[in-house]
Structure 1
Amino acid sequence: MENKEILISARDIESKYHISYSSIMKARREGTIRGVKIGHNYLFDEENVIKPWVGLKPSTDEVMMLKMENEKLQNQINMYKNQYKMIRQLLDALNGTVNVI
């Protein structure tokens, strides 16, 4: 299966994402983003290059870290729920003994 990338020019990126043309070309010169030179213009892959650079699409490392943090927080919530149930049962037991006295 062929790798189909959607390539857009720096001027299109400028109008779509409101980033100046000079910033895009500076990032290309610094090596922050990669582009393909066709004639006098550079074309950039929108999905794999521009969106992560702009911050619209998190990298896989960030996604993995967020998933791990989410799992940790869910485990902590479950622990608090169990503690609440135990305290609630203890209070019910104490309330029952106080009513007997």
Structure 2
Amino acid sequence: EVATGMSHGRAVSVGMACEAEIAVRMGLCHKGLKERQDGLLRLFGLPTEPPKVDLGKFSFALSRDKKARKGRVRFVLPRALGWVEVREDVPLDLVLEVVGLR
């Protein structure tokens, strides 16, 4: 939201889609769950792909995220329908890859 100028709701949608992709790549949930979630978001006209963003702005926004604690970014990753896990061990390279900065 801060790095892209998107509305809060649209930024939340993109964040959910990115966190689901991270969960898939970390082996925490199956791709079908991500596809189902993305389909529902798109059904309501919400975006699921991150917009082009500057690396510096993204890094700054990520460090200021309201879920960050003691300098560590926390991610809410889906595990199954109705079940998420809050993780602080998501590799930065994976995050940058998912948002299109690597």
TM-score band w.r.t. shorter chain: under 0.3
> Which structure ranks higher in relative contact order (CA pairs < 8 Å, sequence separation ≥ 6)?
2
TM-score (norm 1): 0.26
Query: Which has the larger Rg?
Result: 1
